[in-house]
Structures are given as structure tokens and as C-alpha cells.
Structure 1
Amino acid sequence: MSDLAGRAADLLGVPLAEARPMAGGDLSQCVRLRLEDGREAVAKSGPAPREEARMLAAIAAAGAPAPAVLAADEAVLVLESLPDTGAGPGAEADLGRVVARLHAAEGERYGWHADYAFGSVVIANAWGDDWPAFWAKHRLLCHAGHLPAPLVRRIERLADDLGNRLPERPRAALLHGDLWGGNVLYAGDRVSGLIDPACYYGHAEVDLAMLALFGRPGPAFHAAYGAPEPGAAERAPIYKLWPALVHWRLFGAGYRGMVEGFLEAAGV
């Protein structure tokens, strides 16, 4: 039995019948648990399990599907096991409805109650009232010490011009924060859960840009979610630049081409 599974069983106070490793992301360990009382659960590690639990609760409170939190401490998060049978023909439209519901939840400011992380990359979430300033400081310039100087200069030029490129005060929507296909579970024509969040409040287009980073939601998603805001296509490379920079820092300079492509698309 893995340490993760054993710790999860201790938190639940129920003997463990079986623990099976799950295929998960690159940044956390996941184990499927079968408990002696017949229930199934998922145990996972992460940068801040208690904070992830609060994020999942916020997603659920917004009316979007998320796994229920069964237990959490500083090292492990134990979650309800959700159906994950694959996407049916109506799933894309349901994802559009789910993301719209998530984004309808609104905060008073931009940011989150605490910082978070993707592996070794800190996600700073200090509260702010100026969205371009928030994006410049906490999503772009924060990477400067980890990049080649010529790219840093281009990012600094972009950051200096964000006041002309991003809305100053877009609605502070609840963001999933890491909304790519691998973090959406499907059961036929419906989304059964949004998982592995990195939530904060910000411009809704950030999630939409992330969703299109490695794929492209189709017409059914957009019809269900709603029409894009004017200028969304021009802002998309600026919002995609952040996850591209995070991937570079986590997985290496093989992502340099992606970073440079988004800078070029943004005209810097």
C-alpha cells in the first residue's frame, strides 16, 4: 500500500481494501481507493491539498460539477470518485453550459485567497483591482528570472502595453485556472466533473484561451457558452502566453517555440 493511500485511509477512518495507481498529470500522484465499506475514492497529492479543496468547493458552489471533498490535510486530498466514461455527442455543448455557469460566479477583486502552484512554479494570487496590472505582474513578469534576456525584453514590452490591450476592469469571473481537456471528466453527454483546479477570479477569457491551448472547442461549445466579447481573438495570445511560460519552466525549452509564437501573435 502506498503512503498516499495509507494516509487517505487514515483520514477517512475506513480500512482500505485496494489501492490502484491512476494515470494522472505530471505534477501530482493519484491513487484510486476501494474501501472495505464498498465505497471508491481518489487520493491525490498536490502543492496545497486544503487550498485545492476550497477551490473545488467554490466550483461546486457556482453550480458546476466537481468531485466532493471527503478529506484533506497538508499532504493528501481525498475525493469522490466520479464517472469517467468518455465524451458523448452532446458533451461539448454541456461543457459550454458548465463553463458559463462557472464564470457566472463573480468575485469583488482579481486574485484568490492564497497563492498556489503548478509543481515548482508559484502562482501568485495577491488581490488587485486593475486587471492589466494583475496579469502583467502575476502572470507574465514573474517569469523574467527564468527566461533568456531577449524574450524577457519582449515580455516587458507586452506587459507595459497591457493597459491598451486588456480591459481595465472586466467582470471578475471565477476561473478554473487550468482548464484543458485532461481536467474535464465526461460521462456520455454530460460533464461529470471539473478536476485539478487552480482557481482565482479574473477575466473569463483566460479559461477559454487555456481550453484552446492544446485543442479547439467546437461550435457546440461556443453556442452553449455564448458569444465572445469584442476583441477576444486579439487577447487570446496574451492569455495563452502564461500557460506556455509555465510549461517552459516545468518541462523545458521545447516550449520556447510556443512562447515565441504567442509573442509574435501579440505583435511583440
Structure 2
Amino acid sequence: MTRLARHGAALLGAQIWNWHPLQGGDTAQTLLLYLNDGRKVVVKNGPDPVEEAAMLRSLGRTGAPVPQVLAVDEDAVVLQYLPPDGRLSGCWDDLGRVLAQVHTGRPEGDAIRYGWHADHAFGDVAVCNEWTENWPEFWARHRIGVHLDHVGPDLARQLENLMRRLPDLLPHKPVPSLLHGDLWGGNVLVSGSRVSGLIDPCCHYGHAEVDLATAGVFDRPSAAFYTAHGGVEAGYEVRFAIYRLWIALVHLRRFGATYMPLVAHYLDVAGAGRA
């Protein structure tokens, strides 16, 4: 960690007088640096600092709040420090408005397509983002099918069954919105009663409901969250389960069988669980 702290300061041409780790760190080390010139900044390594900086800049171009990228290279990204002195429980409506801004982002060009210009990763779990021309195909191939070789045969059969049904369960060509991609409370910074920054993105272009769904995997968004974004469409319960299933599968692979009940729950809601 000392090496990361020194490297972050060097990227800014500064010296450090102190540092300490920040919460998180499942897939990267994140430190708060105190610089000799009085600044406080955040430095973070892996899995891909350059791509993380690009994602943050993409989010920022929509007008959504993100920490400013101060410096980046292949080993680390240095970010503006945004004090997390508020609680998300008091500003779900503001997060809904912020996400509505994020979701105005569109891929370059006029073609409707889903994906991102690069792949990503959560630790050793690859996040594939190859462009596809319809949404059910993207979700089947890159968010469910990629796990088939890493789970047991019974779960793999249930996932394959769900993949076959996705054209009937997901919209074929929804508006390709910019997505944060890993939205949960730990990736939302709050100051006072406002969202001050979105962090740790896993961006791609897809159905806006993905972010609305994943916000509820580990947190309990209020009704104001969905209303502020623009509401939800009929049948959202099944789609939310399908989108949350991806998060559950990633956690199953990374952290083990503790997450199998969550996977089973989302499969059941999506109608793909065992009878």
C-alpha cells in the first residue's frame, strides 16, 4: 500500500505526509492520501485504472456527479476526494434523478447497439462487453452464458433454460442507455442530502432498468427512487430478477456458496428455478 500511496502522489508531482486505506478493496486497493500541499486525494489501483477513468469521464459528461480524474496511468488512478458525510437512506430520490441523467448517455453513432468499447473485470471474474445488436442476446451471452463453465451442472441447466427464454422476457431493442453497471450503496457517495459522486463503475450501454434493479440487491431503495427516475414499466419484477441474477452469479463465483440462495431466489422469480 505504501508503494501505491507514493505512486499516486508522484502522478501529481506531489509529496505525501500521510495516508490510510478506505473502505472496500475487494478488487482493488483504495487509499486516501494527505499531500504536503494540503490536498486530500484518493488513489486506486486495478483492475484497469485507465478504463475506470474513461468510465468516470463518460458518466461525468452526462452531468452526473463523479469525482474528477486528476491523474491516471496503467497502475493507478488519482481521484478528487469527495467526503462521504451523508446517508443514502435520506436521498434515494436524488439518486433516482442522478441516474436519469446518467441514462441520457448514448453510444457513438446512430446504430442501436449494446456493450462497451472494452471488457472489464471484478477480480478474476471477467465482464465481457462485446457489442451486440439486440439486448436479450447481450444479456444471454455476456451476463449469464459466461458463467456456465464456472457453476455446477444443475445450475448451468437452469441458466441455459433462462437464456433460451430471454427474447420473451426482455425488450428486444430498448434505448441503449449509459449504465453505471455496478450500482449499489457502496458505490454512491452522499454529502448532506445529495448524491455527491458515483464511483467504481462497470459501464456499458444497455437497458436503463439494469441500474434500477441492481440498486436493490443489497439495499432497499424507497419508492421515491423509482419515481424520481421516471417510474417502472409493467412486468419489471421478472426483469429486475434477471438483472439482479448477474450480480448474484458474480458474487457466487467470487465468494462461494453463501450466495447460492440469492441465485436460486432470482431464478425462481424469473421462472427458471427448479419445480
Which of residues 126, 129, 132 in structure 2 aligns to 1:128?
A: 132
After superposing the two structures, state which structure 1 stretch, 120-129 or 9-18, moved more: 9-18
Tell me if the contact between 2:103 and 2:208 (Cα under 8 Å) persists in the aligned partners. Answer: yes
Alignment-derived partner of residue 15 in structure 1:
15
The residue aligned with 1:264 is 268
Give the 5 Å matches for 1:212-251.
212-251=216-255
- After TM superposition, the structure 1 = structure 2 runs for residues 1-268 of structure 1, keeping only pairs within 5 Å, are 2-87=2-87, 91-107=91-107, 108-268=112-272
Identity of aligned residues (%): 51
Where do 5+ consecutive residues of structure 2 fail to align?
Answer: none
Give the drift of 1:265: 1.0
CA distance in 2, matches of 1:158, 1:90: 36
Cα deviation for residue 83 of structure 1 reads 2.2
> Quick one: which amino acid aligns to residue 39 of structure 2?
R
Q: Contact 2:49/2:77 (CA < 8 Å) preserved in 1?
A: yes
How far is the alpha carbon of 1:230 from its aligned partner?
2.4
Q: Secondary structure at the match of 1:46?
A: coil
- Please give the secondary structure, in 1, of the residue aligned with 2:195: strand
Matched AA of 2:52: E
Offset at residue 235 of structure 1 (A)? 0.9
Equivalent residue of 1:41, what SS?
A: strand
CA–CA distance in structure 1, aligned partners of residues 219 and 82 of structure 2: 23
Q: TM-score, normalised by structure 1?
A: 0.97
SS at match of 2:103: helix
| TM-score, normalised via structure 2 length | 0.94
Count of residue pairs the alignment pairs up: 268
Separation of aligned partners in 1, 2:120 and 2:210: 17
**1:5-24 per-position Cα deviation (integer Å, ceiling 9, x unaligned):** 01111111111121111122
Moved more, 221-230 or 161-170: 221-230
CA contact (8 A) 1:173 1:201 kept: yes
Shift of 1:261: 1.1
1:5, 1:19 within 8 Å by CA — same for their partners in 2?
Answer: yes
Letter in 2 for 1:63: G
Query: How much does 1:136 deviate?
Result: 0.3
SS at match of 1:109: coil
Aligned-pair distance for 1:90? 5.2
Any idea what SS the aligned residue of 1:104 has?
coil
